[in-house]
Each structure stands twice: as C-alpha cells, then as structure tokens.
Structure 1
Amino acid sequence: MSAFEDFSSSGSEFRDLLSRFESGSEGFYDIDEYEDLAAYYLQHAQLDMVHQVLKLALHCFPDAPELRIKKAQYLAALQNTQEALVILNQLEDLIEFKYDVYMIRGHIYSQIACSEQAIEQFKLAIPHADEPEDVYTALGIEFLNAHKPSDALYYLKKALKENPALDALYPDVFLCFEYTAQLKEAVNFFHAATDHSPFNFQAWFYLGISYLKLPDPPQAIKAFEYALAIQDQSVVARINKAQAHYQLEQYLLAIEVLNEALVIDDQDAQVYFSLAEAYQAIEDYNQALVFYNKCIKCDPAWADAWMGIAMVLDHLNRITEALHYIRKAVEINPQESEYWYVLAEFQQKMGFYEESEQAFQRVIECDYAESDVWMDYGCLLIQMDLYDKALDIFLQGIKQFPKFIELYYLAAAALLKLHQRQSALELLEQALQMDITKCELLFETIPALSLDLEILDLINSYKSKDSWV
C-alpha cells in the first residue's frame, strides 16, 4: 500500500481491523494491517496512536521497509526531519519504495522550506507513480508556495488532466491565474470545467470568482446563480453574488442576497461586514454601524470592520469616537498601511500633529503603494512649519513617483520658504513644463506668493506658451 493511501471511505473490513486494534484485542497482525493502521492514524494526525502501532509493528517486523516508511512519515510529522531523512536514504535503493521515498522526502523538504529540493524529489517520483496526479498536485502546490505561479499552474493543470474530478484544486488554480494576471484565461478554463461537469458547484463558483475579478459582474452573477442552483445553501456563493451586485452599484440587491445568507448562517462575520458596506454605500449609516458591530461580535479581530466604524463615525462628525476605532484596527493589524493613513488623517483633524506625523511615517514604513501619502504627509509638515522635513518628504515622493506633478509644486513652495530661491525656481519651471494646470497649488500652499512678481512672470510666460486659461 502507498504511504499516501486515502481512508476517507474505509470499508467494513478495515473498520473491523480498527475496532480490534483500539479495543486492545490480542492476536496476530500482519505487515499490511500494521501499515494500514499507521497510514490511517497518520492521515488523521493521531500521532500517539501512530506511535503505538509502530512500536508493536517494528517489534514484530523490525526490518520491514513498509513499516520503516511509516516511521519516516511519523518522524516527519513530529518535526524530526533528520531522523526521517536517514531512514528514507536507507530505503532509496529498494525499487518498489522509490515513489514513497521521493514523495515523503519532498514533503519533508517542503516542511523545512527547502523548496528547490522538494521540487527535485517530487519530479523524481513521477516515473514511479501509479497515479501521477498526486505528484503533479504536490509540484503545483510547492511551486505556488515558492511564488512561481506559472510553474504551479502548469502542474495543477496536468493533475486535473489526469483526474478531472480533483475540483479541490480549483482554488489554487484560480490563484495561479490571478497572480499571473490571466483572468480571461481563468474564465476560459472554468467555462471548460462547467462544460465538462455542468453540475459541479466548484466549477461554477470559480467561474463566478473569475468574472468578479475580471471584472464582469453581470456574468459573475449568472455563474453564482448556477452554483446556487447546485448548492442552494451556499453562503459563500451568496456573499460573492452580493459583491457582484455591489460592483454594479445595485446595493439594495446586494443587501437582499446577503439577508438570504443570514437566514442560512447568522454567525458569518463576512456576511455582516458585506451588509455594513452596502448600507454605508446607500448612506444608511445607522444600519452600517449595526452590521459592522455585528461583524466584530462574530470576529473581534476583523480589523476592516473596526476601520469601517471609524469611517462612518468620521462621516457623522464623531471624530473623537472614530479615533478609538481606527486605533483598534491598527492594534489588530499594525502592518496595514491604510489603517495608519486613516489614523494620521484623524489625528491631523484633531490637531494632534506630532502623533499624525508619527502615523504618516508608519504609512511609509509599511510600503504604502500610492503617491498621495507623500503629498499629505508633506502638507502636514508644512502645517507644522517644518519646511525642511516637508521638502525631504516631497523629494522622496518625487523620486518614487516622478510623474506626480503636485509634489514638484509643493517642493518648490518649501524651497521658497527655506530661502533657496534659485532651486525653487528651477523646480517650479520643471513643474510648469510638465503640467501648468496644477500651478494654483503653489499659491494655496503659500498665499503670499501671489504677490511675488518673479513667480507670476514665470507662470505667465508658460501660460502664454500653452494658451492656458
């Protein structure tokens, strides 16, 4: 028997064997029976029982390679990887066990984050596999974990070609398509899957997800409706169908679908969160608060719900309360730059400028991907009369986002306040050449510049060149 035998539908004969062993009945067990018992307990992660089986088995059959394979698996499950590898190395020359040796060794290398070695072992297992889809699956998952989605997709497709019933691979297949920006190909793939298996819930569901990400929400809704026709109690299909309605700004329809989901499961935090977002979108802020709070009651660590409450309270001019909720979101997930950004803005509104400056710095440290933080952070520093710091922020922003014109005007304004007039004029001229329509930002930042004749003449010279009004 393979080390990877599936006991999900054990027959009566095996159940009798299991009952006999667990009741402590004395009697003879052959190698195959010990192997079956060890495999069953390994599959169910009952390591104490594996230990009992192997202790008895190896006492009776100390040199049986089938049982030593199981011991290697057991040791790997205990994180005793070196001992497991020693056993596998000793068994590698036995041709009938090569498949198990390579597969177990591959999983061990995967377990200790040696991805290249794991992949090498899985590939060695291919010619020895009776069911190659298991090896292809292992390779696909390993490549995905190694952030190589193109390679992962290749092997996952091979696994599905060998066994189209492996719809448990669809989530990973979709991730590969998403990571490689092949959403149209994902649609084609899952369309083909629905053609092959028209009553397969997973195929319709991931077709819907593919359309949702494309985005093509009308087609996503159709796919989710087919999925729900197959599994009418699916909460996750309803959540995503509601998301498609949300994309179409059909907020009331989204709410209707989500309320259907609540009838099925009233303890699903995602349903409450999605309802809160939909109510927030139609400006029913009281209901939004109700459902954000219900989300938090189901899952206190749902950081986006804490931020959602903060945003609603801010809209209702309850900024002091909002500050508490956004701080909670930051506490739950301190690596999320968006939370720090909102916290910085709220603190700035409250006049807590030093705290706001610290929060903006955290936004940058968390690798916030958009350009606006450099402008907002720098403008806060100007508000604090820290023009040298503001200039540094604007220049850093220009380095990362050289086409973000506003930063050039703001940096020029900071240079003028720092009495570096020549550098300011050079930067201003560069900004005017790029986009003169943003020049008013200069005067909004430093109103006194509207009386600076040299600045006005420079701007007017570009206005006349571009016939700008």
Structure 2
Amino acid sequence: MNLSHEEEDNSLSLSKFESMLKTNKVFFFDSEEFEDIILHYLDTGKINLAKKALKLGLEQHPKSTGLKLVQVELLVFDDKLDIAEKLLNDLYAIEPTNEEIYIQKANIYSKKDQHDKAVELLQIALRYTDDYADVYSLIGMEYLFMDNLELAKENFIKCLENDTEDHSALYNVVYCFDFLDQNDDAILFLNSFIDRNPYSEVAWHQLGRQYYTVKNYEQAVRAFDYATLIDESFLGAYLEKAKALEKLKKYQEAINCYNITMELDDPTSFALLRIGKCHERLGRTDVALQFYLKTVHEDPLLDKAWIAITDFYIRQRNFQKALYYVNKAIGIDNENKLYWKRYGAINKQLSFFEEAEYGYRKAVEFGDYQLDTWLFWVDLLQFLGEFDSAVQTLLQASEFFPEEYEIEYRLAGLYYMLHDEEKGKVHLSNGLRLNFKNHTLLEELFPVIWNQKAIRTQIEKYQKLNE
C-alpha cells in the first residue's frame, strides 16, 4: 500500500516538474522530490532532463547533501572524476559518517581501475550503512572486476543474507560457482537458500540448471517444476525443463513444455527446432520436417536448423534433397564449416568425388580441424590421384594431431605410392609404434603397395621385436 502511494507521489512530482518546464513557471519541490526526479531521469536515460532537474534543485536547496551526491553521480557519468572527487571531499568534511560519500568515492576508484582502493572504501561504508545488502553487492562486483571469484562469491552470499530478494546477487553467486566449476557446492548452497526461501522461483530455476550441468536430469526436472509452479509464466524454466526431459527421452513431455513457451511468447527458432527433434525421435518424421521448415522460416540464419533438415534427409538416404538444402544453407552463409562438411559428405554419397573433396577443403579452410574431416579430405584426394596434395594436407593435419596413427599410416602409404621409400619407412615406423593393431589400415587404403617386400619385412620385424 505504501509503495503504491510512493509511486503516486513520484508520478505527481514528475508531472508537476514537466509542467514547470513547459510553462517556465517556477514551482517549489523539497530536496527529496528533486532527488527522485533526477534518479528517475537517470534510470530512463534522459540525462539532459536529469541535469536540468539537478540545476533547479541546487538553486532551491544549495546545501542539500543528497542533491550534491546526485551531482557527483552525474559528474562520474560524464567522466569528470577530478571535480567529483573534490566535491566528495567537501561533503566528507561536513558529513564524515555518510555512507553514500564512501560509495561514490569507491565508484570513482572503480572507474580508475583501482578496485582494491574501491573495496577499502566500501568496507568503511559498511560501518555507516543500514543497507548492508547493497554495499556487499558492490564489494562483490569489485572482486569480480579483479577476477577474484572466491571473494566475489563470499560477498554476494553476504548480500543475500541481508536481502533474499536480490535476484541479481543470486545470479552473481551462481555465476561464481559456475566459473569456479563448483557445481556440487552450488547445489548445496541453493538447496540451503531454498530451505529458507522456498518460494524463490529464481533459486529453483538456478538449482535446476546446476542439476542439469551435473547430468542429474530427474532432479533438474523437479527443480524446474517448482519454479514453474511458483511462477506459471516463467519462460526460461519451461525451456530448461523441456531440455532435461529430452535428456530423459521423455520426448512428448518435452514437446508439451516447448508448446507452453510458445503460448507464453512468440515461437522461437530454438523451441521449433527442438520440437522437430522430439517428433523425429518419436518416429513422426513428417511432423518433424514441418517443424524444421518452420524453424528456418523463423530464423533463416540459424545453422542448426539447416543442418537438421540436411541431416534429416541424410538419415532418410535422400541425398538429392539433402544436397538441395545444404546448397540453400551455403547460399545464406558460405563460410560455415558445418555446412561445407555436410556438403562434402553428401557429394561423397552421390559419388560426386571432386565436389566432395571441395566441400571438405572448404570446411577446413573455415576452421573445421576435426580429425575425421582431414581424413575424409585426404582419402578423396588419394582416390582422385592427387597424391602430392594428399601428402601436404596430411602434414598440415599432423600439426594438429602429431601422434595420430591414422595420419602416419596414410603418409606411409602415400610416400610409397610416390616411390619415396625412405619417408614411407619413417612414417610406417611411426604408425606401428603408435598402433600396431591397426596396421592393416595400410592394406585397406593402399592394396597396391601392401605386398611390397620392404613393407612386409618392416611389419614382421617390428612384430618380432615386440612379441
């Protein structure tokens, strides 16, 4: 009830102030009214109006400490730190126990990246403040700036001990736990917090996220359930619950959750895509495809959606359709490594080997350095008779995978094909050392040279030495 009256008073003050500006009449406001007006304009980004209100406020109340502290805020906002600091020193001489003076001084030091000094001043502010939560939160932020996550976490927890409704502090505590890879500790903390604040939907949601991270999907669903029971319009909790249900293979329940998110807000490409995936896993391929197509209509730049359609047709072994959709995707983003890898795989299935080689080459060019991509590319180069290019590609791959037997056996085979027996022998030796069991890879990939006497002798000799 009091809050309603307070909001009404603020609204009347604002209307009166704006009327004064339009008519050029001068109305009287007490200093606290001016402070509220200025802070309202600061919060809404109307800096010029905030400055006008401050000027008029100081004319009517030249000795108001509150207005001068707001003036400091505006000076700091304008990066006039020296003037702000001088004004704070003057105020300190008058009111040395005013916590806001220390908070504003800390803000200036923070702006100067002197976070240790800022913390010292905030610690002094704690002696004089009634709002411990706010000061602990500010200390926590300073420690975040210094990358001291442990102390940041400690202060955000103290903030919550003084104000359990501070959702920002709760998110920051969980961020610290996450950053420090302390998921189990986060679960203990959140359960303890919920024991004291059982109706905190934010805490239940964050607890669900932690359970999801440690792959305890049953408990994650339970936590998200509580979050949505407390707040039936909690969109994020429904989304996270749906993801956890997918992990539990409860695809129809996941679909139901995703549908709720679309009732609460406009359909998102993420929800449409996940619904498609769930339908496909339930064997409803036609419905799945409809949702994949809706997804790319909703967000034509979402690579996961184009890949979903492409992979859908690959699984159906309809490679012509898969090629059509991967080409559409490349037309939208021709630097996407995922598209190019699919392009290579599909063309390989269609026996378009030159196009397949080009696809894998482009995938690597745009940052796909996975081993299988290199090997698919090399095997196509070999098939096309481009042995020198295949060798150069493998040498490039070996920089990423220096101890990989699949690369060594291929290099051995290619060098023997190029009649460079010395290098062939070196790489065959490397392959045998790294993985003797799979030395028959040489036979699979290079049947032409497999029975060469030098190769057979080297393999037999290695086998005898290591029996």
Would the TM-score normalized by the shorter structure come out above 0.5? yes
5 Å matches for 1:313-392? 313-315=313-315, 316-317=318-319, 318-327=321-330, 330=333, 338-339=338-339, 341-342=341-342, 345-346=345-346, 351-352=354-355, 353-354=357-358, 356-364=360-368, 370-383=370-383, 385-392=385-392
Label 1:117 to 1:464 Cα distance change in 2 as closer, same or farther (>3 A): same
Structure 1: any 5+ residue segments left out of the alignment?
Answer: 1-6, 110-115
5 Å matches for 1:400-439? 400-439=400-439
Q: Return the offset for 1:132.
A: 4.0
Answer yes or no: is the 8 Å Cα contact 1:307–1:325 preserved in 2.
no
How big is each residue's C-alpha offset from its partner over 1:126-170, in whole Å with a ceiling of 9 and x where there is no partner?
A: 321423433443454465577664454344333323433323333
> In the alignment, which residue of structure 1 is the partner of 2:95?
none
1:126 to 111, 123, 127: 123
Distance in 2 (CA, whole Å) between partners of 1:197 and 1:378 is 60
5 Å matches for 1:151-170? 151-170=151-170
Amino acid in the other structure paired with 2:361: E
Distance in 1 (CA, whole Å) between partners of 2:136 and 2:312 is 48
2:17 to 1, 4, 21: 21
Distance in 1 (CA, whole Å) between partners of 2:133 and 2:375 is 53
5 Å matches for 1:388-399? 388-399=388-399
Distance in 2 (CA, whole Å) between partners of 1:47 and 1:444 is 73
Answer yes or no: is the 8 Å Cα contact 1:122–1:135 preserved in 2.
no
> In the alignment, which residue of structure 2 is the partner of 1:101?
104
Label 1:270 to 1:319 Cα distance change in 2 as closer, same or farther (>3 A): closer
Label 1:457 to 1:31 Cα distance change in 2 as closer, same or farther (>3 A): same
Q: Return the offset for 1:246.
A: 1.4
Is structure 2 residue 90 aligned with structure 1 residue 86? no
Label 1:310 to 1:29 Cα distance change in 2 as closer, same or farther (>3 A): same
Q: Return the offset for 1:57.
A: 3.2
> In the alignment, which residue of structure 2 is the partner of 1:112?
none
Give TM-score scaled by structure 1 length.
Answer: 0.81
Structure 2: any 5+ residue segments left out of the alignment?
Answer: 93-97
Q: Return the offset for 1:50.
A: 1.4
Q: Return the offset for 1:118.
A: 4.7
Is structure 2 residue 53 aligned with structure 1 residue 53? yes
Answer yes or no: is the 8 Å Cα contact 1:272–1:291 preserved in 2.
yes
How big is each residue's C-alpha offset from its partner over 1:156-208, in whole Å with a ceiling of 9 and x where there is no partner?
A: 33332343332333333333333322222222222212212112111111111
Label 1:279 to 1:20 Cα distance change in 2 as closer, same or farther (>3 A): same
Distance in 2 (CA, whole Å) between partners of 1:105 and 1:298 is 45
For the residue of structure 2 that corresponds to 1:134, the secondary structure is helix
Amino acid in the other structure paired with 1:305: A
Is structure 2 residue 39 aligned with structure 1 residue 36? no
How big is each residue's C-alpha offset from its partner over 1:424-451, in whole Å with a ceiling of 9 and x where there is no partner?
A: 2222222212222322332333231222
> In the alignment, which residue of structure 2 is the partner of 1:233?
233
Distance in 1 (CA, whole Å) between partners of 2:145 and 2:378 is 39
Answer yes or no: is the 8 Å Cα contact 1:239–1:257 preserved in 2.
yes
Distance in 1 (CA, whole Å) between partners of 2:429 and 2:17 is 86
Q: Return the offset for 1:211.
A: 0.9
Answer yes or no: is the 8 Å Cα contact 1:141–1:152 preserved in 2.
yes
- Structure with larger Rg: 2
Q: Return the offset for 1:107.
A: 6.1
Label 1:155 to 1:106 Cα distance change in 2 as closer, same or farther (>3 A): farther
Pick which of 255-264 and 188-197 moved more.
255-264
Q: Return the offset for 1:460.
A: 3.9
Identical columns (%): 24
For the residue of structure 1 that corresponds to 2:114, the secondary structure is helix
Distance in 2 (CA, whole Å) between partners of 1:376 and 1:45 is 55
Label 1:178 to 1:339 Cα distance change in 2 as closer, same or farther (>3 A): farther
Distance in 2 (CA, whole Å) between partners of 1:106 and 1:8 is 37
